[in-house]
């Protein structure tokens, strides 16, 4: 029993630590224990280790680990991808041969597609690039309109040396700007973006289904083993109702029976436990990306909206009607800011407001020159620009890329470059 408990605690701890590491920076977890644990994991513990190493080895260990960490975190490498594939393949090699003789025909028939689907979608997610190149830059510029909140025209990537298309982001690991960049996923050694978002979501679905099926299948096989051990068929022969092996058992006895069968069938038991404890994490990933589709956002944009929410709460956000701002700021050249009619996005769905942040929370100023200044005509005067209105709530801000769940789903999964 203690061995099973130890395995369960280890797997659950790894799953939780992975969840904190990957999701701890999301806006939804700010000012929560998850955010604190993320800072503890990525900031406080490393800083404490550096302080100790500085005294003991003059940072020799830290420098060595820094080089390794720089490679792992700042270079595109297949190590996690290889681990991911090996974990699935080894688990299947342990589980399937051990359970094969006790599976029904329908259970066996379901195995090949469930086993192959994650590998196929993993391959497609890994090999499909959403990088912006000289050849597809123009089409990337026309895929989405600028919303003048998260994305403004006129910005150039300092590395790629081209105008940044709406919803794009430069990835330091891929060393390229990525169309509709969601995030860089270490599990696929690639950025999740416009071209592989469909494959990535199908990967999440297939992994969640495979883990759930493996957990259920393992339970059925081991439960049948317990039934045969404690209530042989000969004992219930002629009975109208089959007696369950767990009937009248205490929770302690129930746990001990499962510990016994898992230790006896350790290949099936270990994989079943891994599936049971990993499935919630896979489902959480899937639910989060369904939420992003529902909200018309990417992971990158979700973080940006979180920053806007804090700036609005601090009273530093202002907006102005686009038609009034255009009086002072006409559109940029077409290669930097495409005309509205050129953008392949639903007609009429364009930015109506221009969003800005101010450093001190005061509204933008405008200069009054000449007679209107009511002072020295040669001395310009500054006064608040009445076109800019303070934003009091994030509810006042429109997400231009949210077309409703169905249209968001179609765009997110099938609008590929």
- State the catalytic residue, choosing from 160, 174, 177, 185: 185
> Residue 290: how many CA atoms within 13 Å on its side-chain side?
9
**CA-CA distance, 37 to 44, in Å (whole number)?**
9
Question: If DSSP codes are grouped into helix, strand and coil, which group holds residue 355?
Answer: strand
**CA-CA distance, 86 to 63, in Å (whole number)?**
30
Number of DSSP helices (H) and strands (E) in the chain, helices first = 13, 9
Q: What angle do CA 109, 115, 118 make, to 5 degrees?
A: 140
Question: If DSSP codes are grouped into helix, strand and coil, which group holds residue 280?
Answer: helix
End-to-end CA distance of the chain: 54
**CA-CA distance, 64 to 222, in Å (whole number)?**
46
Chain centroid, CA 114 distance in Å: 23
User: For the chain, what percentages of helix, strand and coil (3-state, to nearest 5) are there?
Assistant: 55, 10, 35
The tokens for 185 are 């996923």
The tokens for 254 are 């129930």
Longest dimension (CA), the chain: 110
Question: If DSSP codes are grouped into helix, strand and coil, which group holds residue 365?
Answer: strand
**CA-CA distance, 178 to 171, in Å (whole number)?**
7
Active site residue 185: yes
**CA-CA distance, 157 to 137, in Å (whole number)?**
12
**Strands 353-357 and 176-178, how do they pair?**
unpaired
Report the catalytic residues.
Answer: 185
């Amino acid at each position: 029993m203690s061995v099973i408990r130890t395995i369960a605690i280890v797997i659950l701890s790894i799953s939780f630590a992975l969840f904190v590491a990957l999701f701890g920076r999301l806006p939804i977890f700010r000012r929560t224990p998850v955010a604190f644990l993320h800072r503890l994991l990525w900031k406080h513990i490393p800083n404490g280790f550096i302080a100790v190493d500085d005294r003991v080895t003059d940072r020799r260990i830290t420098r060595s680990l820094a080089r390794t960490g720089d490679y792992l975190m700042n270079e595109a490498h297949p190590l996690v991808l290889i681990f991911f594939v090996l974990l699935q393949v080894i688990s299947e090699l342990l589980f399937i041969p051990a359970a094969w003789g006790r599976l029904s025909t329908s259970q066996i028939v379901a195995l090949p597609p469930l086993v192959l689907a994650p590998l196929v979608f993993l391959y497609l997610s890994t090999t499909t690039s959403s990088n912006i190149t000289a050849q597809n830059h123009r089409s990337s510029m026309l895929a989405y309109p600028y919303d003048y909140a998260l994305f403004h025209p006129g910005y150039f990537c300092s590395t790629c040396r081209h105008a940044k298309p709406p919803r794009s982001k430069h990835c330091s690991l891929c060393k390229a700007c990525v169309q509709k960049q969601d995030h860089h996923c270490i599990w696929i050694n690639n950025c999740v973006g416009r071209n592989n978002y469909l494959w990535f979501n199908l990967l999440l679905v297939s992994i969640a289904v495979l883990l759930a099926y493996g957990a259920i299948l393992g339970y059925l096989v081991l439960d049948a083993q317990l039934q045969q051990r404690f209530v042989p068929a000969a004992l219930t022969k002629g009975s109208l109702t089959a007696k369950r092996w767990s009937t009248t058992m205490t929770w302690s006895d129930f746990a001990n029976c499962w510990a016994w069968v898992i230790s006896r069938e350790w290949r099936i038991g270990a994989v079943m436990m891994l599936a049971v404890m990993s499935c919630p994490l896979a489902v959480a990933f899937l639910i989060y990306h369904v939420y992003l589709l529902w909200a018309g956002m990417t992971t990158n944009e979700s973080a940006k909206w979180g920053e806007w929410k804090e700036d609005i709460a601090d009273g530093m956000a202002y907006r102005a009607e686009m038609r009034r701002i255009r009086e002072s700021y006409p559109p940029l050249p077409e290669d930097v800011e495409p005309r509205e009619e050129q953008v392949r996005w639903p007609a009429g769905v364009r930015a109506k407001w221009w969003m800005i942040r101010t450093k001190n929370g005061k509204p933008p100023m405008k200069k009054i020159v000449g007679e209107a200044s009511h002072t020295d005509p040669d001395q310009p005067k500054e006064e608040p620009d009445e076109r800019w209105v303070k934003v009091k709530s994030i509810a006042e801000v429109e997400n231009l890329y949210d077309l409703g769940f169905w249209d968001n789903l179609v765009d997110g999964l099938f609008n590929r470059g």
